Amino acid sequence: MTLSNMTAIPLRANKGKLGIYVHFPFCYQKCDYCDFYSEGIGKENSPLEKQLFNAYKLEFLERKKLGKECTSFEVDSIFFGGGTPSKAEPSLWRDLLQFLQNELNISKGVEITLEANPEDLSLEAMGEWQAAGINRLNIGVQTRAKAGLTYLGRYVDEKKYQALDSLCKNSPIPRLGVDLMYGIPGQSFQDFLEDLDSFLSLPLAHFSMYSLTVEKGTAYSRQVNEKRKESPNEELQYQVLEYLPERMKTEGFEWYEVSNYARNGAFSRHNLRYWMYEPYLGLGPGAHGFIDQNRYGNPRNTGKYLKDPMSAKSEPASPAIELALTLFRIFLPMDLLSFTSMHLNEREQESYLRTILDWQSKGLCLWNGRIFHWKESAIFKLDDLILQLCTTLEN
């Protein structure tokens, strides 16, 4: 493989586009491994839902006054994440989308994504989401195995999991994706293959496949530290990482980010925005935003957020380190020169070049002075390689 014969159009730095992220913190049950801000509240809807959606609007109107990118840029991605946003009343998402459409320059081809869990899925709900304008659905499955779900501390509705195939085949929402997890203690390679095979048989456009990790401050972290649960199965994680690229390629999926595969170019436009250092407005408790080269993070507490949606302070971004941590998660060819020339000073560009030439000499990447592309083998050393670049930048 050479850069000259690659058919993929290289990703390059973009200007003039904006994303919107809205964080809905409530879910049935907080998973043991989850380090996102979320609150398990059982099956009933939160009495704070309407108040929360009003706060989204208040925060948006205030942030719009402060950031020129909110008024001058075209919005081409909106992402409803959580928590479990599929738990909210569909009418609230419809109302919020109408509000945003009245306030912003929304692209005709805007990608509008909702994260959903199996327990909330029905053709009726999917129809309501589609009518509201949602055109992409990410389903948090993790695994079909009840033992694995229980180990992860997830809420399990077996009937809903059994209904997934039919719902995916008859979905009114055009682009569907699933999240799968591997490395769960007790899970075998064959168990993971059964999960993967069952979803590859469905009309899905996207797969996110994550290895289980121990995140500081989570219930799972405490359980591992107290020897009540085992650490993730690293041998299985290596085995799956080695297996996936070729298998997914034969199934017609392109590997575009460490954990993400898409068919027919159905990359997550919104998630690419994070990795490619593009601006996005974050709304809601626990949400982060990147506007006018400044970052902010809202309080991870719904009560505090409702009292003052604008309490978060903004701080200048650090492009050299941030690009190193995010951009090199991408496994597509990318016009790296367009990123470095736009965001980095001369010394930082030299550090990038020196490190990339070292990677190239070791056979880890393809590089022609403009276009960069990881080789598949780099995935096994990626954390160390990114750390190498960060260390070079800091010296």
The CATH number that applies at residue 186 is 3.20.20
Q: Which two tokens stand for residue 30?
A: 């907080």
- Cβ atoms of 282 and 23 within 8 Å: the answer is yes
Q: Which pTM value belongs to this model?
A: 0.95
Round to whole Å and give the CA distance between 301 and 307: 10
- Cβ atoms of 273 and 280 within 8 Å: the answer is yes
Residues 61, 65, 67, 71, Cα dihedral to 10°:
80
* Boundary of a domain, candidates 243, 274, 305: 274
Do the domain assignments include residue 111? yes
- Cβ atoms of 25 and 38 within 8 Å: the answer is yes
**240 and 118: one domain?**
yes
Do the domain assignments include residue 280? no
More confident: 15 or 135: 135
- Secondary structure letter of residue 231 according to DSSP: P
- Secondary structure letter of residue 370 according to DSSP: S
- One-letter amino acid for residue 28 of the chain: Y
Tell me the pLDDT band of 3, cut-offs 50, 70 and 90: low
**φ, ψ for residue 365 (rounded to 5)?**
-150, 165
Burial label, 335 (beta-carbon count in 10 A; 0-12, 13-18, 19+)? middle
Whether the pLDDT of residue 224 is over 50: the answer is yes
- Cβ atoms of 84 and 25 within 8 Å: the answer is no
**7 and 105: one domain?**
yes
Identify the pLDDT of residue 70: 85
Domain that includes residue 363, residue range:
320-394
Round to whole Å and give the CA distance between 40 and 84: 10
**324 and 246: one domain?**
no
How many domains are contained in the chain?
Answer: 2
**55 and 194: one domain?**
yes
**328 and 266: one domain?**
no
Whether the pLDDT of residue 290 is over 80: the answer is yes
Do the domain assignments include residue 306? no
**351 and 208: one domain?**
no
Do the domain assignments include residue 250? yes
- For residue 19, the SS3 value is strand
Do the domain assignments include residue 101? yes
**359 and 248: one domain?**
no
Comparing C-alpha atoms, which of 171, 145, 170 is closest to residue 156? Answer: 145
Q: In sequence order, which ranges of the chain are alpha helices (DSSP H)?
A: 49-66, 68-72, 90-103, 123-132, 146-151, 158-162, 164-169, 189-200, 219-225, 234-250, 269-275, 302-307, 319-326, 336-343, 346-361, 382-394
Whether the pLDDT of residue 5 is over 60: the answer is no
* Boundary of a domain, candidates 242, 274, 306: 274
Round to whole Å and give the CA distance between 130 and 172: 7
**354 and 224: one domain?**
no
Q: List the end-to-end C-alpha distance of the chain, in Å, as a whole number.
A: 34
**334 and 266: one domain?**
no
Strand partners, 140: 179
**190 and 337: one domain?**
no
Do the domain assignments include residue 300? no
Do the domain assignments include residue 134? yes
Q: Which two tokens stand for residue 60?
A: 């948006």
**176 and 250: one domain?**
yes
Give per-residue pLDDT as tens, 260-284: 999 999 999 999 999 999 999 999 9
Round to whole Å and give the CA distance between 297 and 285: 9
Give per-residue pLDDT as tens, 299-323: 999 999 999 999 999 999 999 999 9
Round to whole Å and give the CA distance between 30 and 115: 15
- % of residues, the chain, pLDDT over 70: 98
Do the domain assignments include residue 252? yes
- Cβ atoms of 298 and 309 within 8 Å: the answer is yes
Average pLDDT over residues 129-152: 98
Tell me the pLDDT band of 7, cut-offs 50, 70 and 90: very low
**267 and 329: one domain?**
no
Average pLDDT over residues 215-233: 97
In Å, how far from its chain's centre is CA 329? 12
Q: Which two tokens stand for residue 363?
A: 């056979």
Sign of CA dihedral 161, 163, 167, 169: positive
* Boundary of a domain, candidates 274, 306, 335: 274
Tell me the pLDDT band of 10, cut-offs 50, 70 and 90: confident
Identify the pLDDT of residue 344: 96
Q: Which two tokens stand for residue 55?
A: 């706060």
